[in-house]
Structure 1
Amino acid sequence: MKVIVAAVLAMSSVVALAKEVSDVRVNGLMQMTPVRAFEIIGFERGQGYDSNRVYDAVKQLFASGYFSDIDVYEDNNELIFDVVERPIIGELNIEGNDLIATDDLERGLDVAGLQSGEVFKPDTLNQIEQELQRQYYALGRYSAKVDIDVEEMPRNRVAIKINIEEGVTAKIVHINIVGNKAFDDETLKKQFQSAETGFFNPFSSADEYAKPKIQGDLEALKSYYLDNGYLDYQLVSSQVSVSPDKRKVYVVVNLDEGEPYYVNDISLGGSLPISEDRVWQHIDQAKGDVFSRQQITRIMDAISTELGDEGYLFTKVNILPNKRDDHTVDLTYHITPGPQVYVRRINFSGNTETRDEVLRREMTQFEGALATHSKIQASKRAIERLGFFGNVDLRTRPVPGTTDQVDLDVTVEEQPSGSIQASIGYSQADGTVIGFGISKRNFLGTGNKLALNISRTNQTQDYTLSYYNPYFTVDGISRGYDLFYKVSDHNQDDVEDYDLDELGAGVNFGYPLDETQRLSFGVTVKETIIKLGSSPSNETSDYVTKYGEQFDDVIANVSWSDSDLIGGVLPTEGYSHKVTVDVATPLGDQSYFKLGVNSQAYWNLNDSNLWLFRLKGRLGYGRGFGDTDILPFFENYYAGGAYSIRGFSSSSLGPRNSYSDTTTSTSAIGGNILLTSTAELIFPMPMVEDHKSVRTALFLDAGNVFTEYCHNSNTTCVEGIDMNEIRYSMGLNWTWITPIAPLSFNLAKVLNPKDGDSTDFFQFQLGTTF
C-alpha cells in the first residue's frame, strides 16, 4: 500500500487510529545527513503514529528548506519518506559591476542566503534581482539591468551567474523648491551637494543623481532653516521623477518655512561643579538674536569641553527651547556633569611596526591621572604629528563595575614610513639628473630617522648619511648626526671650470619649548677643496685668488621651529615654520652667515580634507663678515626646479657668471638672497577613492635669486633685489604615495620667461614631495 503526501494531508482531517511503526526510512538524501532528517521527523521504531503526526513531520521537513518534493507512504508496516532535495549552490559569479564592489554585493547576497554551499531556493532570485536593482537605483542608475542565469552542475549542484549592466547615472535636470518665501531658490540650492545639469565639468559629479545625496541635501536644507531661526520648518514632501529614457531626473521639494524665532531669555539648568562664569563665557548669545541651531551646538560642545577639562568627561549638555506665542524662544542649557573620571589604562592597537613607547611618550594624558578633554585631544594631535600614521582614533571606554574610571583606547593605522627615493630628469644646464635615496622615518619602530641620499648629475655627486633621535632624553631632547660628501666636477660642462670637494660631519641637539615649538643647536665641521680648471669664471677665480683653494670651516647653527602639521606625507591641515641661522665661525678659515626662513600652512576649505588651500614661502640671506668680504660662491642660493619654481630648470635662475672671454656661455651662479613662494589649490581627483595617497593641485610659483655682490667685469649683473626679475609659473601637480615612495608629476607653464631662461614643461620625481 502506497500513500503519497497529498493523501496523507487529506487524512489529517479524519480521525485515524494510531499505527505502530516497525521502521522509518528516508530515501533520496544527499546534502542533509540522515541523523538530521530523523531528528526532524521525530519517529522511532516501535512508536505509534497517526496522520496528524505524519502531517507535522512533512511540514517540518519542508520548513528546513532542503526539499522541493516529499512523498510519504507505508510499506509492510514501514513508514517511508521519499525526498527530492533542492540543489546546493556550487558556484556564484558576479560580472559587470564596477560601481559597487563585488565584496559589498556578496555581503548583501550572503544576508539573503545566497552564497556558495547554501541550499538554492529559486524563490529568492526575484528578491535578489530586485534588491540589486534597488541599490543601483539609489545611486541614480535607473537604466541598470540584472540578469541571473542558473546552470545545473554534477552532484545536485547549480552555478549561479549574475550579470549586471550598470547603465549610466541619471542627471538632475531641474530642482524645484516650492513654498519658500524668506529665501530665494538660488540661496537654498547653494546648500545642496546636488546641482542641476549645466556646462560640462569633468571635475564635478554634482549633477549625478543619488538618493543618499538627495537625503543629505534635505537635511542640509533643514539645518539652514534652523540656523536662521525657523524652528517650525517642515519638509512637506519630496518627489523624484524619472524621464522615460531613465537618463533625466526631476526633483521637487515642498516645504513649509514657518516664521523666524528670536532669543528672548537664556538660563542655565542642572548642576554645575564649576563656577557659572566659566560656563557663561562660552554663551555668546543675547536677547534679540536670531535662533541658530548651529550656534547652540557649538556652545554645547564648548561647555562640554570646559567641564571635560575638569575630569567630567561624560557631561551631558541639552538645550531646552521654550517657544513663545510672539515667536521668541527661551533657551535653557541643562547640564548633567556626571562623576569625575580617572584614566586607568592607556591601550594601543594597530601599531604593527611602531613600538608602544613611541606612542606613549607623545601622550600628555597619563594613566592614573584625572582624565581631561584638552590633554586627550593634545595627545591625539601629537601622535598625528609624528607622520607615521594615516589615521589616529582615540576613545574613552568606561571600566566595567566603576563610575569614575575609563580606559583610553588609541587605535592607529600605520602608513609607510620608509621609502626608496629616486628622481630622473634632463635639463640643458645639468644634463641627466639622477637621484637615489633610502630613508626610514621610523627606523625599527623606534621613531628615529635614518637616511642615505645620493644624487648625481653630469657635474655633481652628493652623498649624505643622517641619523636623528627625537627622544635622546626622556624629556624630549633630540640628537642628530650627519655625514656628507659632495663632489662637483664643473670642468666638463663647458660653462664653469673648477672641481669642488666637500667633506663634513655635524651633530645637533634640539630642546622642546612646548608641544609644537623646538629650539635646536649644532656644530658642523667641513673641509672644502677647490681645484680651478684652465678657464674658470671671473667670480670663482677671484674668490680663490683672494682666499685660497682649501678651507676648514667650523659652522655653528641654531634653529627655531614650530610645526603642527597633520596628515603625514600629504598634510591636510596645520602649519610649519622654521628659522635657521648658520654661522661659519672665526675658528675656521672663512667667516660668513646664512639666515633661512621656511614656512607653510594649510587651510581646509570645506571640512572634508579634500579641498585645501596651501601657502608656502622660503627666504634666504647670506653674507660674509670679518676677513671674508662676501658669501662664498659655493654657498650661494639657487632657484628653479621641482622644489622651488616649477617650470624652470633646476638651479637655473638668478645672476649669471662672467668670463674675460665674452664668447663663453654663461650660467646661473646663484646669489646671497633667495625669495620663493607657492600658492596651491588642492582638489580631489575624479574617480579616486583613496585621497590619502593621491593628491592633485593647481599651483602658482613665484621667486628668484639675487645678489649684493656683482663682479666688476659682469655687465649683466644687477645688485640688490629687483622685483621686475621675479619669475612666475603655474600648472598642475599630481602626487601619488606609492608603496615605495611619493611619485610626483608637474606640468608647468612659465608665465614671464626672459632671454637666457632654461625651462622644463614636464618635471617628474620619485621621492620626497616637500
Structure 2
Amino acid sequence: MTRHLSRRLLALALASAIAAPAAAQQAANPFALPQDAAPAPGPANDPAAFTVSDIRIEGLQRISAGTVFTYLPVERGDRLDASLAGDAIRALYGTGFFEDVRLDRQGDILVITVVERPAINKLTLTGNKDIKTDDLTKGLKDIGLAEGETFDRLSLDRVTQELNRQYNNRGKYNVEITPTVARLDRNRVDVTINVKEGKAAKIQHINLVGNEKFGDEAITDSWESREHNWLSWYRRDDQYSREKLSGDMEKLTSWYLDRGYVDFSLDSTQVAISPDRQDMYITAGLTEGEQYKISGVKVTGDTILPLAEVEKMIPVKEGQIFSRRLLEYTSDTIVATLANIGYAFAQVNPIPEVDQEKKTVGINFQVVPGPRVNVRRVVFKGNTRTADEVLRREMRQFEGAWYSQAAVDRSKVRLQRLGYFETVEVENVPVAGTDDQVDVTFTVKETTSGSFMFGVGYSQLSGVNLSVQLQENNFLGSGNRVSIAAQQSSYQKRYDFSFTNPYFTDEGMSLGYNLWWREFDYSDYGVANYSTNSGAGQVFLGLPITEYDTVSALVGIDTNEILLSASTPLSIYDYITAVGQRTFHAWRTQFGYARDTRNDYFMPSVGSYHRASVEIAMPGSTAEYWKAEYQYSRYFPLSQSLILLTAVNIGYGDNYGDVTYRDLCHDMTVPCTTASDDFLRTVNSDGLPFFERFYAGGITSSGRVRGFVDNSLGPREFNGFQSQPIGGALKTVGTVELVFPKLFDSPAARVSAFLDWGNVFADFDSFDASELRASAGVALLWRSPMGPLSISYAIPLRTQDADPSTFFPGDDTERLQFTFGGSF
C-alpha cells in the first residue's frame, strides 16, 4: 500500500513539474508559443525522473502519431526528467499544430495528451475593394492563413493589424477589420474577414513653409497629392496616401535641385488629421538655399566610343544653372547608347564637385561600361497556347548577337501589337558563371485572341443581328487568322470565309484569301431603296518595307446584281439604264500603304496610324471606276490620366474611261412630244457607281459622326414618297477625342469625350466647308466578355433644318447610340 502510494505521489510530482509552466503560459495566451516556460532543471538525482518504456499520444484527430514522433525529442529508453519534459512541450508547441499539450505518467509509460488546433475549412473576404481579393488571399496564404491550413489566432490578429496599417497608408483611417471564427464539427473553423473600408481622408490644405522664390502652386503642380478640387472625382488626387506623400516629398527635393538649389533641405513634414478622421492637413518646412551654376564638365573612364562623340551627347554646358534632371538625362543617354552596342550593364555616374563659396558645381561624368554582353538565349514564358515561333519571328533582338536595348524594346512593342497577350514583360537574366552573357526572357500573359459568336448582336441601325461567327486571330497558336461567318439581320444575309498567314515567307510577307456572298437591302440600312446580291473571291499580299511601314495589294473578281423597287431613287434608275444591265462584274485591284507606330493593339496611348489605299475596277469591268481613301489617327499622351486622339478619314472616287450616254426619248415606244418633257432627258454612267459611294453619320460606319443617324448625312434624293440618302463620291470626317484611361481600373474599358465632324458630298466640286456637320459628347468602349460594347451620347452642334423648297427634311439626329456584339 505504501509502495503504490509512493509511486502515485512520484507521478503526480513529475506531472506538476512539467505541466505547471505550460499551464501558466496557456493561461496567459492559449495560442502563444511557449518559449520561456522551461522548467528549472532538477537535481542530478531528480526523484521524479523515470525511464520511458513506451509513449502513448492521446487527443489526435487529423494529425498522425508519426508526425508527432518526428518532432518529439523523447524516445523509448530515454530517462525523462523535468528538463527533457520541458523540451518536449516546447517542441510540440513549436509545430503550431496544438493549442494545448500535457504530459502524464502511467507507470513507466509517458502519456502525451494534446488538443489540436482546428483546420481552416473556408476563408472568406468581404468588403475589400481597394485591395484586390486575389492579392489579399495570396498574402494570407504566405503567413499560413489559408483553407486547409491549421488555424492560428495569432496569425489572424497579425493580419488584422497589417490590414489596418495598409488601409491607413491609403488614407482610409475609418477602416474596420472584423474577423470572425465559426466553429464546425470535426475540429474545423470557418474564418470570415469583413472589411469596411470607409472613405479615404481628403487633403484639405497643403502648406509649404520657407519657400520664398517659388509659389506653392508652381511647386505642387506635379504632385500626386493635391488639395480637394473640382476634378478630384476623376483624378482622386485629394485622397491622402503615405506612399503618395513620400513620392511628393521626393518631387519637392527634385524641384529645387533641377533649378540649381544644391543646398536645398527638407526640414520637416507634418500630417494632421481632423477628429472625425476625414480631413488631412499637410505641412512641409523647407530651406531653399542659393542657386548654383555649372563651372565645368568633363568625361572620364572607359567611354568605349570616341570621347568627342560622347561629349556631343552632353547638353550640360559651363555657365548653365545646375539641374539634376539634366544630369540624369545625360547619363541615361550615354547608357542607352552603350546598351545599344552590347554594354547592357553600363553605368554613368555624374560626380559633382561643389564650391559653396563661388556657388558653382563642376560635373565629372564617370563612364563604367562593364563587359560587352552577348545574348545567349531569348526565352519565352507564359505562352501556353501560342507557339514559340510566332513570338520569335517578332524579335528584333537575336540570339548570339550583341545585346541591344533598342532591339529589346522594339521586340516588346511588336509582341504587344499582336493582340494575343494581355501583358508583356521583359527581363535580362545574367548567365551564371560568366559576366558577358545574358538571357533575355519575355514573360507574356495570354488573352482571348478569337471568339465564337452566336446571335446576340444588336444595334439601333439594324436591330437584332442573328449571326454565327468563328474568328481566331491566332489559329491553333500559329499566328494565322481564320474567320468563318454567317450573319442575318434586317438588311443583310452574309456568308464569309477569310484566311491570312501573316508570315507566308520568313521575311514577313503575308498572304490571305477572302470568299464572301452577301444579300444586302440598302433600304433597311438607312440609305436608298434598292438591294444587291453580290459575291467575291480575293487574294491579297502584304509586305513590310521597314519596321513600321507595309505595302499591300489585292486582286479579286466579284459580281453584283442590283434589284430595284418602285421607291428606288430616279438617279439609280438612270445609271442602270445608261449602263444597260443590272448585273455588274468587276476585276478588282487594290493597293495600299500603311505606317503604324502605335504601342498597343487594343488600347494605344502613343503613336500614330496612317493608311492610304486606292481601289480600281480594272478595264473590262462592267463599270470602270476608282476609289481612294486615307485614314490617319494619332495618340498624344498628355499625362498618365489623359490621352488626346486626333483622327481623320477622307475618301474620294470617280469613273474613268468612256462614259455611256442614252437618250430616253429615242428609247420610248411612243414618240416624244412637248407634253412629255419629263422624258426629254439623256442619262449617262458618269461618276462613281451608286453602289460604291461613301456614307457618313452614326456610330458604326467608317464615316463616323456620332449624334446623327447612321448613313444619313450627305446628298439625298426625293422620289415622291420620301427623301433618301444616296451617298457621295467625297467623304470627309474626323474627330478630336480626349481619352481617360484611368477612369476604370480595367484595361478593357475606356471613357472619352469627343468632337466629331464631317459630311459626304456628291463630288469634289460640291465640297463646302459650311456644310460640315459637328457633334460633341461622351463615349464608352468596353471589350466585355460577351463582346465589344460601344455607347455614345452626342449633342449635334451643327445641323441643317428642313428646306421645303428642296424637299430636304432636315438632318436625322440621334443622341444616344450604341452597338453590341456578343460571343459565347
Tell me the TM-score normalised to structure 1 length: 0.89
Find the counterpart in structure 2 of residue 23 from structure 1.
53
Does 1:722 find its partner at 2:788?
no
- Structure 1 residues 649 and 87: alpha-carbon distance in aligned structure 2, compared to 1, 3 A threshold: closer
Q: In the aligned structure 1, how far is the partner of 2:179 from the partner of 2:219?
A: 43
Letter in 1 for 2:761: F
Q: In the aligned structure 1, how far is the partner of 2:566 from the partner of 2:108?
A: 120
Find the counterpart in structure 1 of residue 798 from structure 2.
752
- Structure 1 residues 433 and 41: alpha-carbon distance in aligned structure 2, compared to 1, 3 A threshold: closer
Q: In the aligned structure 2, how far is the partner of 1:545 from the partner of 1:76?
A: 119
Q: How does 1:369-384 map to 2 (within 5 A)?
A: 369-384=401-416
Q: How does 1:252-267 map to 2 (within 5 A)?
A: 252-267=283-298
Shift of 1:208: 1.7
Shift of 1:200: 7.3
2:761 to 689, 699, 706: 706
1:569 to 602, 619, 631: 602
2:442 to 410, 419, 431: 410
Find the counterpart in structure 2 of residue 582 from structure 1.
615
Shift of 1:255: 2.4
Shift of 1:35: 4.8
C-alpha contact (below 8 Å) 1:420/1:740 kept by paired residues: no
- Structure 1 residues 453 and 83: alpha-carbon distance in aligned structure 2, compared to 1, 3 A threshold: closer
Letter in 2 for 1:689: D
- Higher mean Cα deviation, 520-529 or 696-705? 520-529
Letter in 1 for 2:773: R
Find the counterpart in structure 1 of residue 460 from structure 2.
426
Task: Report the 3-state secondary structure (helix = DSSP H, G, I; strand = E; otherwise coil) of the residue aligned with 2:708.
Answer: coil
Q: In the aligned structure 2, how far is the partner of 1:85 from the partner of 1:510?
A: 70
1:363 to 370, 375, 395: 395
C-alpha contact (below 8 Å) 1:3/1:73 kept by paired residues: no
Does 1:194 find its partner at 2:240?
no
Q: In the aligned structure 2, how far is the partner of 1:496 from the partner of 1:47?
A: 103
Q: In the aligned structure 1, how far is the partner of 2:523 from the partner of 2:102?
A: 100
Find the counterpart in structure 2 of residue 218 from structure 1.
249
C-alpha contact (below 8 Å) 1:233/1:258 kept by paired residues: yes
Does 1:601 find its partner at 2:601?
no
1:234 to 247, 251, 265: 265
Shift of 1:617: 0.6
- Structure 1 residues 63 and 547: alpha-carbon distance in aligned structure 2, compared to 1, 3 A threshold: closer
Find the counterpart in structure 2 of residue 737 from structure 1.
783
- Structure 1 residues 437 and 722: alpha-carbon distance in aligned structure 2, compared to 1, 3 A threshold: farther
Letter in 2 for 1:554: W
Shift of 1:693: 0.7
Find the counterpart in structure 2 of residue 3 from structure 1.
13
Q: In the aligned structure 2, how far is the partner of 1:189 from the partner of 1:765?
A: 43
- Structure 1 residues 580 and 216: alpha-carbon distance in aligned structure 2, compared to 1, 3 A threshold: same
Letter in 1 for 2:689: P
Does 1:765 find its partner at 2:819?
yes
Shift of 1:544: 1.7
Shift of 1:66: 4.9
Deviations 1:275-301 (A, max 9, x none): 123322221111122222222222222
Find the counterpart in structure 1 of residue 727 from structure 2.
670
Shift of 1:86: 5.0
Letter in 1 for 2:458: I
Q: In the aligned structure 2, how far is the partner of 1:460 from the partner of 1:40?
A: 76
Compute the RMSD of aligned alpha carbons: 3.1
- Higher mean Cα deviation, 213-222 or 699-708? 213-222
Count of matched residue pairs: 750
Find the counterpart in structure 2 of residue 320 from structure 1.
351
1:132 to 149, 163, 187: 163
Shift of 1:192: 1.5
Q: How does 1:56-135 map to 2 (within 5 A)?
A: 56-66=87-97, 76=107, 86-116=117-147, 118-123=149-154, 126-135=157-166
Find the counterpart in structure 1 of residue 40 from structure 2.
12
C-alpha contact (below 8 Å) 2:790/2:819 kept by paired residues: yes
Shift of 1:475: 1.6
Letter in 2 for 1:704: N
C-alpha contact (below 8 Å) 1:70/1:83 kept by paired residues: yes
Q: In the aligned structure 2, how far is the partner of 1:159 from the partner of 1:492?
A: 60
Task: Report the 3-state secondary structure (helix = DSSP H, G, I; strand = E; otherwise coil) of the residue aligned with 1:374.
Answer: helix
C-alpha contact (below 8 Å) 1:419/1:767 kept by paired residues: no
- Structure 1 residues 342 and 85: alpha-carbon distance in aligned structure 2, compared to 1, 3 A threshold: closer
C-alpha contact (below 8 Å) 2:169/2:241 kept by paired residues: yes
- Structure 1 residues 438 and 83: alpha-carbon distance in aligned structure 2, compared to 1, 3 A threshold: closer
Q: In the aligned structure 2, how far is the partner of 1:301 from the partner of 1:500?
A: 61
Find the counterpart in structure 2 of residue 689 from structure 1.
745
Tell me the TM-score normalised to structure 2 length: 0.84
Q: In the aligned structure 1, how far is the partner of 2:490 from the partner of 2:617?
A: 29
Q: In the aligned structure 1, how far is the partner of 2:247 from the partner of 2:233?
A: 23
- Structure 1 residues 302 and 701: alpha-carbon distance in aligned structure 2, compared to 1, 3 A threshold: same
Deviations 1:612-633 (A, max 9, x none): 1111111111112221331112
Task: Report the 3-state secondary structure (helix = DSSP H, G, I; strand = E; otherwise coil) of the residue aligned with 2:775.
Answer: strand
1:249 to 274, 280, 300: 280
Q: In the aligned structure 2, how far is the partner of 1:400 from the partner of 1:545?
A: 80
Find the counterpart in structure 1 of residue 3 from structure 2.
none
Shift of 1:665: 1.3
Shift of 1:5: 5.4
Task: Report the 3-state secondary structure (helix = DSSP H, G, I; strand = E; otherwise coil) of the residue aligned with 2:233.
Answer: coil
Deviations 1:80-111 (A, max 9, x none): 55555555555544443333333433444444
- Structure 1 residues 77 and 720: alpha-carbon distance in aligned structure 2, compared to 1, 3 A threshold: closer
- Structure 1 residues 58 and 585: alpha-carbon distance in aligned structure 2, compared to 1, 3 A threshold: closer
1:518 to 521, 527, 550: 550
Does 1:612 find its partner at 2:643?
yes
Shift of 1:684: 3.3
Q: In the aligned structure 1, how far is the partner of 2:553 from the partner of 2:158?
A: 71
C-alpha contact (below 8 Å) 1:262/1:290 kept by paired residues: yes
Find the counterpart in structure 2 of residue 715 from structure 1.
none
Does 1:169 find its partner at 2:169?
no
Q: How does 1:261-340 map to 2 (within 5 A)?
A: 261-325=292-356, 326-340=358-372
- Higher mean Cα deviation, 139-148 or 123-132? 123-132
C-alpha contact (below 8 Å) 2:300/2:365 kept by paired residues: yes
Q: In the aligned structure 2, how far is the partner of 1:289 from the partner of 1:78?
A: 88
Which ranges of structure 2 fall in alignment gaps of 5 or more residues? Answer: 1-8, 22-38, 660-685, 803-809
Deviations 1:482-538 (A, max 9, x none): 223343446889985544333322222222211111122232323233344445423
Find the counterpart in structure 1 of residue 573 from structure 2.
541
Q: In the aligned structure 2, how far is the partner of 1:378 from the partner of 1:121?
A: 50
Task: Report the 3-state secondary structure (helix = DSSP H, G, I; strand = E; otherwise coil) of the residue aligned with 1:348.
Answer: strand
Q: In the aligned structure 2, how far is the partner of 1:48 from the partner of 1:491?
A: 101
C-alpha contact (below 8 Å) 2:642/2:738 kept by paired residues: yes
Shift of 1:384: 2.6
Find the counterpart in structure 1 of residue 36 from structure 2.
none
Task: Report the 3-state secondary structure (helix = DSSP H, G, I; strand = E; otherwise coil) of the residue aligned with 1:3.
Answer: helix
Find the counterpart in structure 2 of residue 592 from structure 1.
625
- Higher mean Cα deviation, 392-401 or 493-502? 493-502
Task: Report the 3-state secondary structure (helix = DSSP H, G, I; strand = E; otherwise coil) of the residue aligned with 2:413.
Answer: helix
Letter in 2 for 1:666: S
Find the counterpart in structure 2 of residue 184 from structure 1.
215
Q: In the aligned structure 1, how far is the partner of 2:769 from the partner of 2:464?
A: 32
Find the counterpart in structure 2 of residue 713 from structure 1.
none
Q: In the aligned structure 2, how far is the partner of 1:385 from the partner of 1:657?
A: 44
- Structure 1 residues 243 and 557: alpha-carbon distance in aligned structure 2, compared to 1, 3 A threshold: same
Deviations 1:9-29 (A, max 9, x none): 898376341554153545544
Q: In the aligned structure 2, how far is the partner of 1:548 from the partner of 1:655?
A: 25
Find the counterpart in structure 1 of residue 593 from structure 2.
560
2:697 to 631, 634, 640: 640
- Structure 1 residues 96 and 275: alpha-carbon distance in aligned structure 2, compared to 1, 3 A threshold: same
Q: In the aligned structure 2, how far is the partner of 1:22 from the partner of 1:504?
A: 94
